[in-house]
Structures are given as structure tokens and as C-alpha cells.
């Protein structure tokens, strides 16, 4: 079975509705390749390693969360950008990338898929463009949340606890995958007792201690590796062509 580039683009757009978001990267078809699509590869980031693995899989299209083009780039096709683009163009492979729309999708998105693995179902949203999720989830302590994350994600986390947090049970957990450390204050305002995201920056450690809310950094890549395969598998199944997820490990 096969489909076409345009059908695939329409399917991704219909599902993820990029027009609803203000983003800092173009969402949709970032690099145009062949029209006939039989094999789709999904991944987190359009790195050279992922593109090479997709070529080895004889992919006709790649679907990622982090594409090639971001606001603030100088636009020159040199160095790593040339290397990645050249591989895609020489092999006539389509690159589809969806950033915030992929974080946000209520069923297949990064936030929903991470929540599903932890038993968290968002009952409210917060932060820029309402991307943050918050749920009722009882834990004995923030430490217990971190332990569950380490088990599910298979990697260590960074936990910053406020004083005396060890004795404090947790009822409300907030999360936003990837680099959402700037959502911390909005999470606190929304009633979070623990906030989980991929990365921590220096200011959040102080805020955690001063505001009495624990902060857990569980990995940018680790928290964002569930949305891409979920969307790609869903669309591939609906259109009857094959899909494979390739996880290129990233310690960040
Ligand atoms: Zn990200």
C-alpha cells in the first residue's frame, strides 16, 4: 500500500491543526521529496543520524518534532545544515516537522503520551498557548514522582525540592515536555505541587526552593519521544502504509 505526499501532508495538518499555533518553526512539510510514499520513519529530531537511519530504512518521508528550520537561524545552507539537507534532497525524502502542535495534541501529542505512561490525565491547562498540563495524581512525595519518571523513562532525573518537601504529599502534578522550564511559574499559579519538564535552567532551582514547589527535569529528548511515533503510527495505519520509529538517543 502507498499514499502520496499531499495526502500525508493533509492528514498531518488535519490532525495537528498547525494554524492554531504561534510557533518559532514552520510546521508541516519542511523539505519536499518524492510524491509516492510507502515507508514513513518517525523520530524526535531531524539530525544527521536520524536521516541516515531513515535512508537505510528506505524511507520516503520522515516525521519529526524538531525539524531543520528555527527562528533566529542565519538561513545559510552550510556545515551541518548542508549535510542534512543534501542527504534529504539526494534521496528525495520528504521531511515533515510539527513542533508545538505535536506537543499539544490531546491524544497523540507529547504531553498526552507522556501523561498516559505515568497515569496522568490533564484536567486543566496553563502557560503560553495553554501547552502546560495539570492533573490530580496522589504521591507520598515529589521524590516518588521522580522515581516513577526514572522508571518509565529509563534515565536519571534532576529533582530540586523545597525545604521539608520530603514529608509533604503531592496531589497536583503539572508537566510540559521538552524545554518548558519557563512554564514553571505558570504551573505554580495553576496549583502545581510538582512541575515536570525536560530541562532545568539556573533560575528554576531557586524558584523551586523559594516557592515551595518541586521541579523535576526528566530529559528533553526523553520526555518528547512518544508524540512522533504515536502520530506517525496513527496516520500510517489510517492510510495503510508502513511506519517505523527510530530513537536516536540523546542524553539532553
Ligand atoms: Zn523539544
Predicted TM-score (pTM) of the model is 0.96
Cα of 177 from ligand 1 centre, angstroms:
7
- Is residue 172 helix, strand or coil? strand
Mean pLDDT score, 190-208: 97
The HSE-up count of residue 71 (CA atoms within 13 Å, CB side) is 7
Cα of 249 from ligand 1 centre, angstroms:
14
User: Is 110-220 in the same CATH topology as 3-103+226-245?
Assistant: yes
Cα of 166 from ligand 1 centre, angstroms:
30
What pLDDT, on the 0 to 100 scale, is given for residue 118? 98
Cα of 251 from ligand 1 centre, angstroms:
13
Task: Look up the CATH number of domain 3-103+226-245.
Answer: 3.40.1390.30
- Which residues touch 212 (CB under 8 Å, ≥6 apart)? 162, 165
- Which residues touch 201 (CB under 8 Å, ≥6 apart)? 181
Please check the confidence at residue 166 and state whether its pLDDT lies above 80. no
Q: pLDDT by residue (tens digit) across 35-89?
A: 999 999 999 999 999 999 999 999 999 999 999 999 999 999 999 999 999 999 9
Please check the confidence at residue 222 and state whether its pLDDT lies above 80. yes
**How far, CA to CA in Å, does 18 sit from each of 13, 73, 168?**
6, 21, 40
What pLDDT, on the 0 to 100 scale, is given for residue 163? 86
Cα of 66 from ligand 1 centre, angstroms:
6
The 3-state secondary structure of 188-201 reads: HHCCCCEEEECCCC
**Structural domain boundaries of the chain?**
3-103+226-245, 110-220
Cα of 41 from ligand 1 centre, angstroms:
18
Mean pLDDT score, 84-112: 98
Q: Give 160's pLDDT tier (boundaries 50, 70, 90).
A: very high
**How far, CA to CA in Å, does 3 sit from each of 96, 191, 243?**
15, 46, 12
Classify domain 110-220 at the CATH topology level: 3.40.1390
**How far, CA to CA in Å, does 68 sit from each of 41, 98, 99, 193, 226?**
16, 11, 11, 36, 19
Please check the confidence at residue 165 and state whether its pLDDT lies above 90. no
Please check the confidence at residue 167 and state whether its pLDDT lies above 90. no
Cα of 176 from ligand 1 centre, angstroms:
10
What pLDDT, on the 0 to 100 scale, is given for residue 241? 87
What pLDDT, on the 0 to 100 scale, is given for residue 176? 98
- Give kind and range of the element (H or E) at residue 96: strand 94-97
Please check the confidence at residue 247 and state whether its pLDDT lies above 90. yes
Cα of 163 from ligand 1 centre, angstroms:
30
Cα of 168 from ligand 1 centre, angstroms:
31
Q: pLDDT by residue (tens digit) across 12-36?
A: 999 999 999 999 999 999 999 999 9
What pLDDT, on the 0 to 100 scale, is given for residue 80? 97
Q: pLDDT by residue (tens digit) across 133-146?
A: 999 999 999 999 99
Amino acid at each position: 500500500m502507498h499514499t502520496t505526499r499531499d495526502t500525508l501532508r493533509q492528514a498531518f495538518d488535519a490532525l495537528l491543526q498547525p494554524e492554531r499555533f504561534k510557533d518559532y518553526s514552520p510546521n508541516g512539510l519542511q523539505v519536499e521529496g518524492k510524491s509516492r510514499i510507502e515507508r514513513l520513519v518517525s523520530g524526535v529530531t531531524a539530525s544527521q543520524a536520524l536521516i541516515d537511519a531513515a535512508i537505510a530504512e528506505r524511507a520516503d518521508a520522515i516525521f519529526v518534532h524538531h525539524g531543520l528550520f528555527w527562528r533566529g537561524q542565519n538561513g545559510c545552507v552550510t556545515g551541518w545544515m548542508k549535510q542534512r539537507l543534501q542527504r534529504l534532497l539526494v534521496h528525495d525524502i520528504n521531511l515533515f516537522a510539527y513542533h508545538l502542535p505535536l506537543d499539544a495534541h490531546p491524544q497523540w501529542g507529547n504531553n498526552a503520551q507522556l501523561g498516559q505512561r505515568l497515569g496522568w490525565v490533564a484536567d486543566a491547562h496553563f502557560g503560553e498557548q495553554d501547552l502546560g498540563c495539570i492533573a490530580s495524581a496522589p504521591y507520598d512525595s515529589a521524590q516518588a514522582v521522580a522515581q516513577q519518571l526514572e522508571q518509565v523513562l529509563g534515565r536519571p532525573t534532576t529533582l530540586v525540592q523545597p525545604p521539608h518537601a520530603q514529608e509533604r504529599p503531592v496531589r497536583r502534578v503539572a508537566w510540559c515536555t521538552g524545554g518548558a522550564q519557563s512554564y514553571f511559574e505558570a504551573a505554580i499559579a495553576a496549583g502545581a505541587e510538582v512541575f515536570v519538564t525536560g530541562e532545568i535552567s539556573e533560575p528554576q532551582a531557586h524558584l523551586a526552593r523559594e516557592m515551595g514547589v518541586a521541579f523535576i527535569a526528566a530529559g528533553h529528548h526523553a520526555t518528547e519521544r512518544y508524540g512522533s511515533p504515536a502520530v506517525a503510527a496513527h496516520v500510517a495505519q489510517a492510510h495503510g502504509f508502513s511506519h517505523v520509529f527510530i530513537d536516536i538517543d540523546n542524553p539532553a
